[in-house]
Structure formats: C-alpha cells, structure tokens
Amino acid sequence: MEKLVSEQKFNKERSSKNFVLILVAVVAILSIVRVFLANWQVESSEILRTMDQRISKQEELNKALAQDLRDRESLVKIESQAKVSGFVPVSKLSFVNSQPRMAANFGSIIQDR
C-alpha cells in the first residue's frame, strides 16, 4: 500500500512538473510571439506613416498643378500674354462678304480651261 501511495505521489509530482514545464513553455512562446507582433506592428505603422507622407505630398503637388493650370487657362492671363507678344485688341471688326457672282465667275473660268 505504501508503494502505491508513493507511486501516486510520484505521479502527481511528475504531472505537476510536466504541467509547470508546459506552462513555462507556453509563456515563453507567447512572449516571443508578442515581441514579433510588436515589431511587426511598429514596422507596419512606419510604412503607413511613410505612405501618409507621400499621399500628403502628392495632394499638395496636385493642388499646385491645378492652380497653375487654372492660371494658364485664365483669360486675363492669356490677354496679358497676348499684349506682351505684341497683339493689340481690335475695336472694330471687319467682315469679308462673299459675292455670289464671284463664285459663278470662278466656276466659268475653270470650265473655260
């Protein structure tokens, strides 16, 4: 009987040692996983921060280009550039009226040849 009790005690001690070893292994594995996840999270946040900076720079560039385009398309700007180039505004418009006889005469000239 004593042997049986001592064997049960030994089994309990052995199972408790195994349990402690398993528990220590789980804690160690979880600690290692936590460190890797923390590093991954830091790297991911760094990448996201870099991307956010690139996006904001691109948005600023797009705004500047849009403003430049609006300036170039502005009629006031075009008019001032035309004046600088030597063009003058026309105050009176002249039209060339076509005469119907001229077209008929031209047609007959072609036929005569």
pLDDT digit string, tens, across residues 39-71: 999 999 999 999 999 999 999 999 999 999 998
Question: Considering its fold, how many domains does the chain have in total?
Answer: 1
Unique residue bearing structure tokens 């001592």: 6
In-domain check, residue 15: yes
Residue 23 lies in a domain: yes
The reply to whether 101 falls in a domain is: no
In terms of pLDDT, which residue wins out, 96 or 75? Answer: 75
The whole-angstrom separation of Cα 73 and Cα 49 is: 36
Please determine, for residue 30, whether its predicted confidence score (pLDDT) is greater than 70: yes
Its pTM surpasses 0.85: no
State the residue range of the domain holding 10: 2-81
Q: Does residue 113 fall inside a structural domain?
A: no
**Alpha-carbon gap, residue 32 to 22, rounded angstroms:** 15
